[in-house]
Amino acid sequence: MKVLLISASQRQNSKSAAVTQLIQNLPVFKKGDVETDVLDLSLFPELLEHYGHLNGKSNTELFIKKEQVLSMLYRCDAVVFIVPEWGGMIPPALVNLLLLTAHGSAGGLPLGHKPAFAISISASGGGSNPISLLKAYAAKNSHLVWLPLHAIVHNVDDFLVQPWQPQREGRFSDVQSRIDTGLSSLFIYAKQLKEVRATLVNLSTTHPFGQ
């Protein structure tokens, strides 16, 4: 089973990337046959060009980057979105990534009927808006399957220096427990959906844009 961790900030050396690295090394990933891959959107600024101006970049360069990203999406069995809140919104690079997962752009449904777990990040006490935005519209054209669980990381700088003790009481331990529980649930969803995904994706291609 391959789990794709998407660091959704388009800024280099972001807190999203730091949280992604932390999650990738959690004990829950050491159990069973689980592999991880990381898609750091800060390394793919070209994603912003597919629905905008080329800014001097060639179509060939954009195509290569797009194919690299789509390859990662197609070969995963489940997705974890690690998303910062920017002024109550999600980063535009993530919006474009979701646009690229649509049937017409991707030549199929790379995330179709794959389970997804959302983790949002805030430097202070925010972070709820990315969850609402993603669960409201991100599945329409991608056909991914949101877990009912999610996690919101408040005060991310403080969170990153906490020991990983999800079994203890406290606000940071509670978030750690939510992440552990969400990931464990994600693995179960991925294993079960893998058996029926091809059939479901075939049905989804009849109405790929959710009408």
Domain positions in the chain are 2-204
Q: Are 4 and 79 in contact (CB under 8 A)?
A: yes
Terminal Cα-to-Cα distance of the chain (whole angstroms): 31
Q: pTM for the complete prediction?
A: 0.94
Q: Both tokens of residue 155?
A: 């005060």
What pLDDT does 45 receive?
Answer: 79
Name the band, by pLDDT with cuts 50, 70 and 90, for residue 5: very high
Classify domain 2-204 by CATH number.
3.40.50.360
39-83 pLDDT, tens digit each: 999 998 777 665 555 555 567 777 888 889 999 999 999 999 999
Four-CA torsion 195, 80, 93, 71, nearest 10 degrees = -40
Task: Inform me whether the pLDDT recorded for 27 exceeds 90.
Answer: yes
CA–CA distance from 92 to each of 35, 51, 89, 206 (Å)?
Answer: 28, 11, 9, 29
Residue 78 phi, psi (nearest 5): -160, 160
DSSP, res 143: -
Mean pLDDT within 125-136: 94
Average pLDDT over residues 169-192: 97
Confidence of residue 188 (pLDDT cuts 50, 70, 90): very high
pLDDT in tens, 104-119: 888 999 999 999 999 9
